[in-house]
Amino acid sequence: MANQSSVLTQTFQAIGADIKSLLTSQGNLANLTTTQKSNLVAALNEVRDMVKSDGAQMDDSNVSTSTVYSSAKVESAIDAAIDALVDGAPEAYDTLKEIADYIAQDETATQGLLTAVNNRVKFNEPQSLTEAQQIQASENIGVGDPTTDFVSIYNTSKE
């Protein structure tokens, strides 16, 4: 039976792999042609402002290479994309860069968390517990079933 530390470690590793994938998917922000190169939301806002001030021929009903959507339609679409991307995140963590920076602040955070959990889930001396006892002890302190496969739950929830 895997212990809760192993299960949490696997879960954090899965989350970390997803964050790496997200950062890779966003591409190199330095290659943006906007002046805002460190924040996707700011870059999108810059593009919106450029479209507003361009004075191009606007046609909201027909897609064409010689016309553009109105600034209101473009701004609405960009705002919807930004809102979907941010999705109510606190301002300090509403960009992938801010989230990555937060995680990178302390690469030993997972180990620290696991140590803290292990220090709280112990008796005065080492002990051997049956699987049923481990599950009961975990439920007593609010951890739940230590055999829960969080990685599977996480992977299923992102499909």
Query: How does 5-40 read in b/e, with b if 16+ C-beta sit within 10 Å?
Result: bebbbbbbebeeeeeeeeeeeeeebeebebeeeebb
pLDDT bucket at 121, cuts 50 / 70 / 90: very low
What does the DSSP 8-state code read for residue 142?
A: T
What average pLDDT does this structure show over 134-147? 78
For residues 103 and 33, the model is more confident at 33
Question: Of the given ranges (46-50, 97-101, 117-121), which has the lowest mean pLDDT?
Answer: 117-121
Question: Of the given ranges (7-16, 28-37, 114-123, 131-140), which has the lowest mean pLDDT?
Answer: 114-123
- Domain residue ranges of the chain, discontinuous segments joined by +: 1-33+103-159, 40-94
Burial of 106 (0-12, 13-18, 19+ CB in 10 A): exposed
What does the DSSP 8-state code read for residue 31?
A: G
Decide if 105 contacts 112 (C-beta within 8 A).
no
CB atoms inside a 10 Å sphere around CB 134: 20
Residue-wise pLDDT for 35-89, tens only, equals 888 888 888 888 777 766 765 566 777 766 666 677 777 788 788 888 877 777 7
